[in-house]
Structure 1
Amino acid sequence: MALRDFFIALSENQLLNSAAQKYGLRMGAQSVVAGTSIPEVVQTIKELNRANISCTVDNLGEFVFEKSAATAAKNNILAVIQAIHDEQLDAHISLKPSQLGQDIDIDFCYENLKEVVALAHQYNIFVNFDMENYGRLHSSFDLLDKLHKEYNNVGTVIQAYFFESDENIEKYKDFRLRIVKGAYKEAEEVAYQSKADIDRNYLKLIEYHLLHGKFTSIATHDHNVINLVKQFVKQHNIPNDKFEFQMLYGFRKDMQLDLAHEGYNFCTYLPFGNDWYGYFMRRLAERPQNLALVTKQVFNKKTNTAIGLGVVAFALGRLSKKSK
């Protein structure tokens, strides 16, 4: 848990995030971020589509406190949607309401979201609301509820570590949902703290939505969970068109290809952009095994992963100080 807390703290450091944007993907994140431009993302989607893998595209962005930044993010997401339509790609959108103004003005955020969802609806493209920390949870659900009154191409994420997720999985059973464990540090008053409790609830939520829900995206790199899900869907005669497995770009590439080859629906979560730092650190905090999954791609074989990532943080801090 100490290592997890360390990476979460790094993900929330605005100074390091700004330095990471300035110095691009030099620190190794290029292995798990699909480039910085829409043409690069389009090319990656085409490659994955050829392997029978669909994609959900995330325009990365953190610490959005100015309307101009939120508007720029919205315009970039609209451009991605247009590219998906023009190129006839098997892909949809994942977005964070905070990137579109949730922390600035909720009505402003809603109008931005509505513009995105409306264009996606016009092209029959799904939009998934990524969930963040507990402080934004309820307003995110409120925005989703309001948009769902007009559009049916929206869904969201249920985070297994929250106590209230048991209620939300039932409330949103008619939505397409991605089930995750959760990637933020949350208070013991609102969230499970132990891995065993989170894992137990994660499987319970997956099984509930597979049995009662509209469509389930099972987001995990854990082969044990994947094998349990395979057994569960077989035992309950759940057809393949009711669910998909989902993993992050750059993680367990062979397993992604294997699952697609086995005939399961598979979706790769495809982040892109310069604002990669917070995303990258949360992925490392999420699951200790993720450290091993990216070590060979990010550092040389003799580099200790934890030390290496600490060096990344230190280096970014030094670079940001020098640039002042």
Structure 2
Amino acid sequence: MQAITKNFFLFLSNNKTLDRLAKQYGTRFGVDKLVGGETFSQAVPVIRQLNDEGLVVTVDHLGEFVDSEEEAKERAGEAVETVQAMFDHNLACEMSVKLTSLGLDISRELVIRNMERILDKAQALGITLQIDMEDSGRCQATIDVFKELRAKYPNVGLVIQSYLYRSDRDLDELDKYDPYVRLVKGAYKEPGTVAFQDKDMVDKNLKQLVKKHMLNGNYTAVGSHDEEVINFTKELAREHGISKDRFEFQMLYGMRNKLQHDLAKEGYTVRVYMPYGMEWYGYYMRRLAERPANIAFAVKGIFSR
């Protein structure tokens, strides 16, 4: 049944007619509850409102798997413009990027050049850039790019996924870089040869990774809507005297809004992960295909207030 569901959503993600209809009518069906806008300009007032409510933000321009050098350069240019706009509008906002949108699948040299172009601007303006983790086949290449950039840029962070067996070892190797890491469960459909298939094991490993990274003294972003994981993090901080400015909670835009605000009122940093862009339809359908359990989770998250 899971394979059938996956194939169904992959089919939908490639349907050009549905893609056109989604772009035309998507906001009427609640997509605006999950996506900040089709352009960054549309997302600006949404970000400002979240800031006014005591929440900080990270934005992700939807789109990945670029196979053209010219398009990768264009995406880098768009990111530079977005970083400048964040500064101009005085937003409490970071940027997340997917390396495949900047040329990772084309050449290492290209993605490094594009990242340096963005990071130069971001560093000059005091803005942090975080590298999203994609599928396991690109994990090592992503970490290698991060290590090279981290030697030059203190304003770059990385995402690590708890469902991968390798993640504990990756944190050990990254520790010497004093990394800002967002720890998440992971949403791609991965085989049992590289990833835990049992949810309880994924959750257990996420807690272990949170504990290791926080006790190593590194700034930690806990990317989870799971109150058990959140409470574990809060208790860990209390037990070891870790101040609230050494970690934060990150949640998706439109998901668990009340929980986000409750945590912020308790004095915790809460960062809202907000995607924006025209490519939301394919992105969202692929996410449902990669992990069909996200269907129920997304519906629950939208209506859980």
TM-score, normalised by the number of residues in structure 1: 0.84
Partner of 2:258: 254
Residue identity matched to 1:107: E
What's the C-alpha RMSD, in Å, of the aligned pairs? Answer: 2.4
Partner of 2:183: 179
CA contact (8 A) 1:14 1:63 kept: no
Give the superposition deviation at 1:142.
1.3
Which residue does the alignment assign to 1:305?
none
Of 289, 306, 309, the residue aligned with 2:297 is 289
Give the deviation of 1:18 after TM superposition: 8.4
Residue number in structure 1 paired with 2:75: 73
Q: Deviations over 1:44-79 (max 9, x none)?
A: 111111111110111110332122322222121111
Q: Take 1:65 and 1:213, find their aligned partners in 2: how far apart are those partners?
A: 38
Work out whether residues 252 and 273 of structure 2, in 8 Å CA contact, stay in contact via their aligned partners in 1: yes
Q: Deviations over 1:176-199 (max 9, x none)?
A: 000000111112111111111111
Matched AA of 1:241:
D
Cα distance in 2, alignment partners of residues 195 and 185 from structure 1: 13
Percent of aligned pairs sharing the same letter: 34
Q: 1:233 to 1:17 in 2, by over 3 A?
A: farther
Please give the alpha-carbon distance, in whole angstroms, between the structure 1 residues aligned to 2:278 and 2:132: 19
Higher relative contact order (CA 8 A, sep 6+): 1
Which of the numbers 182, 196, 200 marks the counterpart of 1:192? 196
1:19 CA drift (Å)? 4.8
Q: Which runs of 5+ in 2 are unaligned?
A: none
Deviation per CA, 1:144-193: give whole Å up to 9, x if none: 11111211111101100111101111222310000000111112111111
The verdict on how the C-alpha distance between 1:82 and 1:18 changes in structure 2, with shifts beyond 3 A counting, is farther
Distance 1:12 1:183, change over 3 A: farther
Structure 1 position 13, deviation (Å): 6.7
Contact 2:253/2:272 (<8 A) preserved: yes
Find out whether 1:102 has 2:101 as its counterpart.
no
Q: Which residue does the alignment assign to 1:238?
A: 242
Per-residue CA deviations over 1:228-272 (Å, capped at 9, x if unaligned) read: 222221111110000001100011111111111111111000110
Q: Is the CA contact (8 Å cut-off) linking 2:98 and 2:134 kept in structure 1?
A: yes
**1:277 maps to 2:281:** yes
| Post-superposition CA distance 1:85-111 (Å, at most 9, x none) | 111211111000000111122211211
Amino acid at match of 1:16: N
Following superposition, the deviation at residue 17 of structure 1 comes to: 7.2
State the distance in 2 between where 1:195 and 1:83 align. Answer: 39
Aligned CA distance change for structure 1 residues 281 and 225 (closer, same or farther; 3 Å)? farther
Runs of 4+ in 1 over 6 A off after TM superposition: none
Q: 1:8 to 1:231 in 2, by over 3 A?
A: farther
How much does 1:30 deviate?
2.1
Aligned mates of 2:19, 2:217 — CA distance in 1? 39
Question: Cα distance 1:149–1:21, how it changes in 2: closer, same or farther (>3 A)?
Answer: farther
Alignment of 1:44-63 (within 5 A): 44-63=46-65
Give the partner amino acid of 2:5: F
Between stretches 22-31 and 111-120, larger displacement belongs to: 22-31
The answer to whether the aligner puts 1:37 opposite 2:39 as a matched pair is yes
Deviation of 1:11 (Å)? 5.4
- SS of the residue 1:78 aligns to: helix
Give 1:7 deviation, angstroms. Answer: 4.9
SS in 2 for 1:232: helix
Looking at structure 2, the residues matched to 17 and 102 of structure 1 have their Cα atoms a distance apart, in angstroms, of 26
Matched AA of 1:166: D
Question: TM-score when scaled to structure 2?
Answer: 0.89
Inter-CA distance 9–197: structure 2 relative to 1 (3 Å threshold): farther
**Which amino acid is the alignment partner of residue 244 of structure 2?**
N
Number of residues of Structure 1 aligned to a counterpart in Structure 2: 296
CA distance in 2, matches of 1:160, 1:103: 24
For residue 15 of structure 1, what is the aligned residue in structure 2? 14
Contact preservation (8 Å) 2:59, 2:96: yes
Provide the secondary structure at the position in 1 that maps to 2:25.
Answer: coil
Q: AA paired with 1:76? A: E
Partner of 1:222: 226
Moved more, 228-237 or 42-51: 228-237
Q: Secondary structure at the match of 1:191?
A: coil
Which residues in structure 2 correspond to 1:130-149 (within 5 Å)? 130-149=132-151
Give the Cα separation in 2 of the matches to 1:260 and 1:267. 9
1:184/1:125 CA distance change after superposition, 3 Å: same
**Range 226-235 or range 149-158, more displaced:** 226-235
